[in-house]
Chains A and B, each alone.
Chain A
């Protein structure tokens, strides 16, 4: 589709410019002895027609794109097209003059006009070349626009793919072991087996739900991580101990979904599960200077070298990359493995917290499920 013919607003603007050029030339013609009325009557229909002729420059610009054609080819095709167009214009002008000269009022003008033929021809070439240049600019502009749109689309697709991957990231190991725990509980503790089924169902459903959203309240993310930990506590028993401290107002902050859960999963699978006696997963969430600060600590098996830190890379990298993509330098993730303790610290900007209050009034965030009665500092999060 022609970029100007296809859009009525563009066509109007284009014709207005041409009208200006017509008036300009009419002004010049008055100097050659034509009256304003004669000049305008002569030139305005010609300019109107030539405006459309010059739209054909689009086909020239498309047939010989600047990026792929040689300069010689561009020059030759521009020269040929502009000469042809101007010659056509000249022929039309002569026919128009001939028609006009039939009327008594315009007969004298015809003679004077004939003297201006070479000038008219040159002006026609110039106008066509200008139109061609304009079309080249238009073409470049449109292709830049297209490239930008394509890149945006690509980003959207990438993000979607990432989220899909995240949803699929529910560790098969986790799933099968949980099912095995349920199988074991069925024999001895039917109520426990049912509790575990419910927890697992809620965890899977929540994971799918939140991953479809852009931002969720931290309270929801905490609930998800809490369910994960409860399930793992059934498996690991007293080997997995959990302690958490969450600032009251932090729970209302908006965060990208699945920023915390993968870290907690990492702490369990690469930390606690590799220790004979397990250990304590400690979560501390606070707010400072417009940032949400999440600190997660867990012991790990130092004997297996850096393997623990590196093996945890997958989940951590995913979180880091997504924070990078969303917040750039405003978000930060520091990872440290030292003296058998693994520590992840996240900083996420919280300027979006205001939006949340509206979201929350519509539907309350579910209560997080991490229990930690032992520590007096720790208490379940209230609904914001």
Chain B
């Protein structure tokens, strides 16, 4: 089987050496060279490579973030110069990785293992790997949403609210809506709890957008946002909101 590979590294020379090595390996075709994560996501979407050779440290979107965005569609061999966090995560999750500088034989062996895996149809533990591979943050500062070949970076402070829709969540941000395959519960853990409140089974609200709370008939409460939009508040949600607002 011919393996279609995309090389992702922000350094020109680092891509050069991988290209050179790959030329010596049978049944491999380089379909794309990407200088950053955005190009990688685009390449995956448009060219459907079998394998990404993916650098961990890259500007704006690092290797783990790229993995989160495309991980289910493609096999990945990580490359890093020195990153203790990442290496520990690779070891724990038995993910293939190469340490710079590496020789052609290492790359060749990694590609052999990828072929085996593809044959068995194994998938990477994408979310877990991304969580373990990066130093823990208090809470997410931005949300990455993939829209076909495009990646949207949503700074959390610009998100108005998030709504659950079946297997997806919908982010309302600067008048637009973005869909991402994720659960509201996961998001609730990622986001700053002092700013984002689960006001309802299906809604997380950015407190900065809340204008007031209205109580309707039968104790039904509604959150009125600054732009006039109305969101339902559940009993439990109201308790959380009150606790946060100190009422």
Contact = CB atoms under 8 A, between A and B. Distances in A.
Interface of A: 172-173, 175-177, 179-185, 187-188, 234-237, 239, 273-276, 301, 303-305, 307
B11 A235 contact: yes
Contact of B59 (A177, A183, A187, A276): A276
Contact of A275 (B11, B16, B57, B59): B59
A185 B59 contact: no
A1 B153 CA distance: 75
B59 A273 contact: yes
Interface in B71-103: 81-83, 99-101
Interface SS, B side: loop
B17 A237 contact: no
A184 B121 CA distance: 33
B120 interface: no
Given A273-B59, A303-B153, A184 B14 contact: yes
A185 B16 CA distance: 8
Contact of A176 (B12, B36, B81): B81
B141 A179 contact: no
A301 B59 contact: yes
A179 B14 CA distance: 10
B60 A184 contact: no
Contacts of A177: 11, 14, 81, 100
B13 A185 contact: yes
B101 A179 contact: yes
Contacts of B83: 173
B46 to A, nearest CB: 19
A300 to B, nearest CB: 11
Contacts of B35: 276
A299 B57 CA distance: 18
A234 B13 contact: yes
B155 interface: yes
Contacts of B60: 274-276, 301, 303
B229 interface: no
B99 A176 contact: yes
A184 B17 contact: yes
Interface string B142-183: 100000000001010000000000000000000000000000
Contacts of B14: 177, 180-181, 184
A236 B59 contact: no
B11 A187 contact: no
6 contacts: A176-B81, A177-B100, A180-B11, A184-B13, A239-B10, A276-B35
Interface in B1-47: 10-14, 16-17, 20, 35-36, 38
Nearest to B141: A305
Contacts of B13: 180-181, 184-185, 234-235, 237
Given A172-B82, A173-B82, A235-B11, A180 B101 contact: yes
A303 B158 CA distance: 12
B59 A274 contact: yes
B17 A187 contact: yes
A183 B12 contact: no
A303 B152 CA distance: 13
A303 B81 contact: no
Contacts of A304: 141
